[in-house]
Amino acid sequence: MDNIALIESFGDFKDEKGISKIDLMAIIEDSLKTLLRKRYDSDDHFDVIVNPDKGDFQIFLNKRIVEDEMSEDDDLEIEISEAKKIDPTFEVGEEYTQEIPVAQLGRRSILTLKQILATKLQEHNNAMLYEQFKDRIGELAVGEVHHIRHKHVILLDDEGNEYILPKENQIPSDFFRKGDNVRAVIETVDFKGSKPQIFVSRTAPKFLEKLLELEIPEIQDGTIILKKVVRIPGEKAKIAVDAYDDRIDPVGACVGVKGSRIHGVVRELKNENIDVIQWSKNSEILVRRALGNVTINKVEINEGDNYALVYTPVEEISKVIGKQGQNIRLASWLSGYDIDVYREKQADDDVELDEFNDEIESWIIDEFKKVGLETAKSVLDKDTEALVNMTDLEEETIEEVKKILSEEFED
């Protein structure tokens, strides 16, 4: 096999992976030197010249000229008598340069060379792939479901690149079939061995950001600014937006008429409830807006501890806290303050027991409700012994509940 044929044997691989001629030649040179080191323990006595314009390369062996019968290594030395047959002017101690055809290396060496080339080509492509996707972290990717496994899903894009979507990066209600097109955001690119692995996510806030950019042109062109995005994947999200131009309503532009603009995003996120608020530099206003459409009488901000105390009527508590605490948790993330709630009430007001579900376990509340005690005062009006006889609760538990309830009616 001559040099050209050897290079051309990798033509299909080169075209498939898009390797430039220059890169291919550099890989060939490195592979040849690797082969020479394997065969001769060193490539110090060899020169490898690669010509990318001609698609050719040459190997030259530099031999040292020695006295006759003094040669210790025929591969690296040549006797003076043999050297003078080539050029009568040669002297002992000089170097004689001899071109080595690839075929002279032997069939086994050529096969080894092909293996080295294939390995180095793969290493090159892996490095290129890593650099390419390292710069794409945070971008939206689309892939077709190729494999569905217990802990992750494998996606393939149009170029054959493989994405890994781990179970923990999937929205809880996600359900995939082979062949489905799936959108996700590129989260990390890591090497496992010599092969880069591209991990994508559908739960990251960045995924929601990119979906909003697709659906809302004003975000894409910078007219509207996404200040912050927080979410509990598949359940609820809050986004804060602002606009450079005071004449623009950033919330209205994002939501659209009857929610038309944000509907596609909600559908992609499996009906995740999205609240859109306008950003404010004023911490109190930001906390109020972050909590949503609830009645808030006062907000106290402690900047040093990043803490906010919100005063709200008793009947609004469940709205402030939200399902499983989602609303207040997201509002805390969005505003950057740890938000707590203070129940405001009139002295003669009674309070439903359900309003205490953040302090009293629901099964205990249910025990009182079974015997018709549904408000705080209805429990406090009865002595502990009577409550022990009426319910299946321990005296200690009842005393703890009464303590919590009585605090609601103290000044």
DSSP secondary structure string, 199-221? EEESSSHHHHHHHHHHH-HHHHT
Q: Per-residue pLDDT tens for 368-389?
A: 998 889 888 889 888 898 898 8
Residue 210 lies in a domain: no
Residue 383 lies in a domain: yes
Mean pLDDT, residues 276-298 taken together: 92
Let me know whether 271 and 256 are in one domain: yes
User: Is the pTM above the cut of 0.85?
Assistant: no
Residue 260 has pLDDT above 90, yes or no: no
Residue 211 lies in a domain: no
User: Which of 299, 322, 344 is where one domain is finished?
Assistant: 344
CATH number, domain containing residue 164: 2.40.50.140
Let me know whether 111 and 12 are in one domain: yes
Quote the number of domains for the chain.
4
Measure Cα distances from 80 to 84, 98, 137, 361 in Å. Answer: 6, 15, 63, 100
Q: Per-residue pLDDT tens for 68-79?
A: 877 766 667 778
Q: State how far the Cα of 85 lies from the Cα of 33, in Å rounded to an integer.
A: 30
User: Which of 149, 172, 205 is where one domain is finished?
Assistant: 205
Query: Residue 236 carries which DSSP code?
Result: E
Let me know whether 128 and 8 are in one domain: yes
CATH number, domain containing residue 22: 3.30.1480
Q: State how far the Cα of 24 lies from the Cα of 7, in Å rounded to an integer.
A: 9
Q: Per-residue pLDDT tens for 107-122?
A: 776 677 777 777 777 7
Let me know whether 44 and 99 are in one domain: yes
Mean pLDDT, residues 310-336 taken together: 91
Let me know whether 14 and 122 are in one domain: yes
Confidence of residue 13 (pLDDT cuts 50, 70, 90): very low
Let me know whether 221 and 165 are in one domain: no
Domain span including residue 182? 136-205
DSSP alpha helix (H) spans, 20-70 = 21-40
